[in-house]
Chain A
Amino acid sequence: MCLAIPMQIEEINGEWAMVKEGTVTKKVNVSFTPKAVVGDYIIIHAGFAISIMSAEEAKNSLKAYEELRKAFY
């Protein structure tokens, strides 16, 4: 339930943002990350952003997920 992949914000409209990772685009609520701007990576839990991650940290995190994905699926 806690698994949260950082996703990059493409667009923000008030409380809602469109985020993309790879081919997946989702609508996410960003009311708990009011400082997030387009281009930021956010950690998402249950459809809501809970934290902003720096671009560099996000890239490392995404690489790790990619390796996990390759190893286990």
Chain B
Amino acid sequence: MKNSEKHFINWITKTAKKLPSTKLMEVCGTHTVNLFRSGVKSILPPNIEIVSGPGCPVCVTSDYAIDNAVELAEKGVTILTFGDMVRVPGTKKTLEEVGGYKIFYSPSEIFDLLPETGEAVVLSVGFETTVPMLAWVIKETKKRKIKNLSFYSLHKLIPPPLKIIDEQSVIDGFILPGHVSTIIGRKAYDFMKKPGVVTGFEPELILRGLYVLLDLIAHGRNEIINAYSEVVREEGNKEALDMIYSVLEPDDADWRGLGRIKDSGLKLKAEYADFDAVKRYSLPKEGVIEHGPCKCGEVLMGFITPDECPLFAKQCTPDNPVGACMVSVEGSCAAYYRWRTE
């Protein structure tokens, strides 16, 4: 262990002793995973609890959005998607069960995956870190006059659910996402009432962020601090933001666990209507958001931990996931399962 890490751990332990029972929330799937993987969660004193929030874009996708994608695939449309969407169950099937999809790792690969005949639809999922890339692809699609490709925007924005959770005052402080913040900037969180720290991903950076956050809480300072200034700027990334908002605009969106939140999603602007899958296929814009005994919604709000769901590790495992939180590599339940039982 590095000296700096030891120092942070000492400071965290000392500061934590001054605090009552404290609940922190992280809202980034990669933080969920790295908090476990780095062992940070296991060194925290018992009065500090870290819960996961709705920071996994696959996990917060509604059931009916999956059903829409499945229906398109059943009609013979080639679905182009990030990998972990294919195993998410809607109210009926997963894309994996239907077939007819292709996976991309970088959105720029989309053009190489177009079918020779027939239509393709991109499942455009992700928070602000990923939106600029898809916006770039949408713009390119229009430039290249590609006729058989459209985009189903399921993109969501991080600040709106944070506002709701912040106002509920159940969480004492927030570990804010690293790379979403690269795009939107530290100042995007200034609306918050509780303290928050923009945090990086390596163990030392997570410890640094945690220490700063606990220190803010101990001193009653409700501020937003950037502890990842190597990469995150005050104003974010202007070119990326310009790309997003030249192609997409805010729209209401349905979140697993939170329901419909005003202006928390993005839709294609009018000038890109020809590439909007919602318009091209008249896709329903409402429906069942989550169904059945799966408690993914409560997990995403930080109300329960995954092991408090009655299905956890019994009917619901990574091999047989009942809900999105277990499917996604960055889902809370998948992370808990992997690190609790290893």
Per-position contact with B for A40-73: 1 when CB-CB < 8 Å, else 0? 0001011110110110010001001101100010
B106 in the interface (beta carbon within 8 A)? yes
Q: With A and B bound together, what is the CA distance between A61 and B230 in angstroms?
A: 10
Q: State the Cβ distance, A69 to closest chain B Cβ, in Å.
A: 11
A32 to B231, CA, bound (A): 13
Q: Which residues of A have CB within 8 Å of B183?
A: 50
Q: Inside 8 A of A33's CB, which chain B residues have their CB?
A: 237, 239
Question: A3 at interface (Cβ–Cβ under 8 A)?
Answer: yes
CB pair A48 B179 closer than 8 Å = no
Please determine whether B30 and A32 come into contact, CB atoms closer than 8 angstroms: no
> CB distance A68 to B129 under 8 Å?
no
Query: In the complex, which of the residues A47, A53, A64, A72 contacts B37, with contact meaning CB atoms closer than 8 Å?
Result: A72
CB <8 Å contact, B179 and A2: yes
Interface hits, B117-141 → A, CB 8 Å: 126, 129-130, 132-133, 136
**A72: chain B residues within 8 A (beta carbon):** 37
| B29 adjacent to A46 (CB under 8 Å) | no
Distance between Cα atoms of A32 and B129 in the complex (Å)? 11
Total contacting residues, chain B, CB less than 8 A: 39
Measured between C-beta atoms, what is the minimum distance from A60 to chain B in Å?
Answer: 8
Assess the A2–B240 pair: CB atoms within 8 A.
no
Task: Report the bound CA distance from A4 to B104 in whole Å.
Answer: 17
Q: Quick one: which of B212-250 are within 8 Å of A by CB? A: 230-233, 237, 239-240, 243
Q: Is residue B11 contacting chain A, with contact meaning CB distance below 8 A?
A: no
A2–B178 touching, CB < 8 Å: yes
Known: A1-B30, A32-B243, A68-B202. A47 touches B237 (CB 8 A): no
Using Cβ atoms and an 8 Å threshold, which residues of chain A touch B201? 2-4
**Separation in Å of the B7 CB from the closest CB of chain A?**
15
- Least Cβ distance of A70 to chain B in Å? 13
Cβ contact within 8 Å between B133 and A48: yes
B126 cross-chain contacts in A, Cβ below 8 A: 1, 46
The yes or no answer to B166 lying at the interface (CB within 8 A) is no
| Other-chain contact of B182, A50, A61, A65 (Cβ < 8 Å) | A50
Whether A3 touches B230, Cβ cut-off 8 Å, given contacts A45-B129, A65-B202, A68-B202, is: no
Q: Which of chain B's residues 14-72 have a Cβ closer than 8 Å to chain A?
A: 28-30, 37-38, 57
Q: Could you count the A-B residue pairs with CB atoms below 8 Å apart for me: how many are there?
A: 88
Question: A57 to B230, alpha carbons, bound, how many Å?
Answer: 7
Most buried by A among B37, B232, B240: B240
The interface residues of chain A lying within 8 Å CB-to-CB of B182 are 43, 50-51
Hey, which chain B residues are within 8 Å of A34, CB to CB? 239
Interface centre among A2, A32, A43, A54 (most CB of B within 10 A): A2
Report the bound CA distance from A51 to B178 in whole Å. 11
The answer to whether A3 touches B30 (Cβ under 8 A) is yes
A31 on interface, CB distance cutoff 8 Å: yes
Residue of A nearest to B132 (CB): A32
Name the 5 nearest CB pairs between A and B, nearest first.
A47-B106, A2-B30, A64-B202, A57-B230, A32-B240
- Can you give 27 contacting A-B residue pairs, CB < 8 Å? A1-B30, A1-B82, A1-B126, A1-B130, A2-B29, A2-B30, A2-B178, A2-B179, A4-B201, A31-B136, A31-B243, A32-B240, A45-B129, A45-B130, A45-B133, A46-B107, A47-B107, A47-B109, A48-B136, A50-B132, A50-B237, A51-B237, A53-B231, A54-B230, A67-B2, A68-B203, A72-B37
